[in-house]
A and B are shown apart, each in its own frame.
Chain A
Amino acid sequence: MFDFIGKKKYFFALSGLIFLIGIIGFIVNGGFNLDIQFQGGTLVEIQVTDQNIDTNKAQEIAKEATGKVVNAQHSYTFDVSKGNERIDLLVLSVSSEGKLSEEEYNNLVSAISKEFKVKEGAKIGLRDVDASMSKELSGKSMLAVFLACVLMLIYVWVRFNAMNGLLAGFASVLALVHDIGVMLVLYAVFRIPVNESFIAAILTILGYSLNDTIVIFDRIRENGTLLRKESLASLTNKSIAQTMSRTLNTAATTGMCVLILFAFAWYNKIDSIMEFILPLLVGMISGVYSTIFIASPVWVMLKEWQAKRKLASKPAKA
């Protein structure tokens, strides 16, 4: 049987390495790629018929029309409902300090329409977010993640009394923090836009990862009453091994769904779905990993530390 607990050093080191890469990526990329929802500002999406659009030129025209710094990007996707017709979009964005007024917006649209081949009759996409809203969203998001962690800690604490609930709760929340960390690394390194899907992805993974942890802890709880003579490490190793085929099968069925979604979104270039699904996929892998290699050994370490402390305090009292 594989010694999951004994080899914990290597796995802790691997996680540490991933976080290090994330920190480097964060610094190199200059922080997260905050979407308009988290930043405030105006984003205008215009459908064009030109496949090789000159974004520098668009940027200049936009600057002239509005007098503000406008970032221009070109993106495309395929319209499956119309036999994979290619859709080209010119995406213009202005950050919060420069949110466009009514007049500037009209100037911008007419200037761009003059210079580029704008698709006739196509609707223009527009997003206009007040800076106060984006601040509120960031605050709320952090609160949501924090609250979810606290609720889960309390739940594990109450339900896993037999495993010394607080320690079990602490170990599982540490694994959750690990998963959030891994997902943040992904966002920082690959510059995935941080928007509302980000919060949805993180909370889903919190639920998924803890679900995984609980199945193993449930087995430790059960084995703990059956195998009283075993050492903690061997008890935990056994429990992990016994639940391994479940862990792998569930990872396979959920992973399959997420992979298929990702593949379809990637093939058809549907960014919004890709940006949501990729973090989920990475989070799921991290969730399975953290259950086995973080939550379980940390729980064993905490229990051993507690036992030592009890032992140490006994003679002192006597």
Chain B
Amino acid sequence: MKGNYGVKSIVLIIIIGIMTYIALAGLQIPGTGVNIENVEANIRYGIDIRGGIRAVLTAEEGANPTDSQMEAARQTIENRLNNKRIYDKTLLLEKANKRIVLEIPYQVGQVEQDPRDAIEEIGMTAMLTFREVDPNKLDENGDYLPLDDKIVLKGDDIVTTEPELDQRTGRTIVRLHLSDEGAKKFETATERLVGKPLAIFMDDQFISAPNVQEKISGKDSATISVTGSTVEETAKEAKKLSDTINAGALPFKLVAKDLEQISPILGQSALDVIILAGLVALILVGLYILLYYRLPGIIADIAFIFAIVAQIMVIAYSHMSLTLPGIAGIILTIGMSLDGNVIIYERIKEEIRSGKTVKAAIDVGFDRAFTAIFDGNITILIAAGVLYFFGTGPIQSFAFTLALGVLLNFVTCISISKTLLQAVSSLKFAKNTWLYGVKGGKVNV
């Protein structure tokens, strides 16, 4: 048994060491393509820190959009923002509430624009067209330019589209369903354009230009094939194109029910302060546990470093946006994460006082403390879950870090702490009860 725990402990400590190293310095192995940046480079801060615009968009009064229309609207906004070269953004569709939450962080050197104008522009009704194009008229990116006199189909000529699996090729294509009039127009146009491109535009933005293979007759016979390097990617592209075309039939305007522009000056300063506060809290709490619980305290601190490092790594590498309340959540879990260890060590002390040997006390301590830790952690998870479900942006980040911290702490407590403590307690010097914070002899019930 002794050797077993010992080996496990050494492995655990090495793992924790490597994790901490990667978190701080990143990992680059030349020649293997392994290139992990440290957490600092990966953390994506929320707009309450970076500054930026946040808007909750809903369909204008009177409109009652369907789920697929909302999805189409989301795609339209994404296309419009990409067209403005705004790639760093979060777009979230809340189907239940029929609203789209948009967050655009502030970019250094960004042209000043009234957020209300910007949002109004983004939320405008979309105008989709299929047009003939002139191969000689291209923009600077090599995309076709929209020609106003060459419109073949308009948004309302298309009833709907959907991605569909092509049985022959196993790849996803987009099927168009046209209106009666649309089908007629499409038939004449495709007859004329065989072998030539027919380009799709959203407003004035170029989307795609499939080549016409043959004359297409009938309302439901038109399909567009999409190119992607893998089957999955093709399916994704097809879905995107389908959503974009559906958005062309978007009959409603999106308006901001809640609009927020956050200036970036306050966030950065608040971030510096809160990180400093976190470091101070980390050191003081670590020292407190060390001084109070002595030998188990060292182990609690090791487990604690693991939990914090793991928590920050998950947040950083998942690119979840981290807000000020989110960081407060991390700091709060610094305190709470020791609760499990505290419950166990208090129990171990009690068992030692009642006359058990150190080893027996540790076994019983972990056993008896388990239900309290388990039940206690579930309650915080319930609270965090409800908060995540009902909250928005910054608060969701808090709920997420809190829940993550509690889960990690629970796992560390019952696995890492236990293994390390059992390994250490079988060493000779560790039989002294003073090391566990028990004052010699006196039983204190």
Contacts and interface: CB of A to CB of B under 8 A. Distances in A.
A250 B269 contact: no
Given A207-B380, A256-B284, A264-B280, 4 more contacts: A80-B273, A203-B384, A210-B379, A256-B288
Interface of A: 45, 47, 77-82, 87, 102, 105-106, 122-130, 132-133, 140-141, 143-144, 147-148, 151-152, 155, 159, 196-197, 199-200, 203-204, 206-208, 210-212, 214-215, 218-219, 221-222, 242-243, 245-246, 249-250, 252-258, 260-261, 263-265, 268, 270, 272-273, 276-277, 280
A211 B379 contact: yes
Contact of B260 (A81, A127, A141, A255): A127
Contacts of A203: 383-384, 386-387
Interface stretch (B146-154, B241-249, B342-350): B342-350
A140 B269 CA distance: 32
A249 B342 contact: yes
B395 A123 contact: no
Contacts of B324: 272-273
Which one of B259, B324, B386 has the highest number of Cβ atoms from chain A below 10 Å of its Cβ?
B386
Given A200-B391, A257-B335, A276-B325, A211 B386 contact: no
A196 B395 contact: yes
B24 interface: no
Interface of B: 48, 51, 56, 106, 112, 114-116, 256-266, 268-270, 272-274, 276-278, 280-281, 284-285, 288-289, 292, 324-325, 328, 331-332, 334-336, 338-339, 342-343, 346, 350, 368, 371-372, 375-384, 386-387, 389-392, 394-395, 398-399, 402
5 contacts: A152-B379, A249-B342, A253-B335, A257-B335, A273-B274
Given A123-B261, A257-B281, A141 B390 contact: yes
A123 B269 contact: no
A197 B372 CA distance: 29
Nearest to A43: B260
B292 to A, nearest CB: 7
B273 A270 contact: yes
B269 A280 contact: no
B388 to A, nearest CB: 10
Given A253-B285, A253-B342, A256-B285, A265 B332 contact: no
A79 B265 contact: yes
A265 B263 CA distance: 19
Contacts of A208: 336, 380
Contact of A200 (B368, B372, B382, B387): B387
A257 B288 contact: no
Given A222-B368, A264-B274, A151 B399 contact: no
Contacts of A261: 274, 277-278, 281, 328, 331
A260 B277 contact: yes
A206 B380 CA distance: 8
Contacts of B394: 196
A197 B281 contact: no
B398 A200 contact: yes
A106 B256 CA distance: 18
Given A253-B338, A258-B335, A264 B379 contact: no
Contact of B346 (A129, A243, A257, A276): A243
Nearest to B264: A123
Nearest to A148: B386
The 3 A-B residue pairs with the shortest CB-CB distance in the complex, in nearest-first order = A207-B383, A254-B335, A207-B380
A80 B269 contact: yes
Nearest to B120: A102
B339 A125 contact: no
Contacts of A130: 257-258
Given A123-B106, A123-B263, A207-B379, A197 B325 contact: yes
A199 B338 CA distance: 25
B294 to A, nearest CB: 14
A159 B379 CA distance: 11
Nearest to B349: A245
A243 B368 CA distance: 13
A127 B259 contact: yes
A124 B263 CA distance: 6
Given A77-B266, A199-B390, A218-B375, A257 B383 contact: no
A13 B54 CA distance: 46
Contacts of A196: 391-392, 394-395
A101 to B, nearest CB: 10
A122 B265 CA distance: 8
Nearest to A249: B342
A143 B390 contact: yes
B292 A214 contact: no
Contacts of A128: 116, 256, 258-260
A242 to B, nearest CB: 7
A152 B382 contact: yes
Contact of A214 (B281, B285, B379): B379
Nearest to B54: A127
Nearest to A77: B266
Nearest to B270: A270
A126 B382 contact: no
B324 to A, nearest CB: 6
Contact of B336 (A132, A159, A254, A272): A254
A261 B377 CA distance: 23
A199 B392 CA distance: 11
B258 A199 contact: no
B288 A253 contact: yes
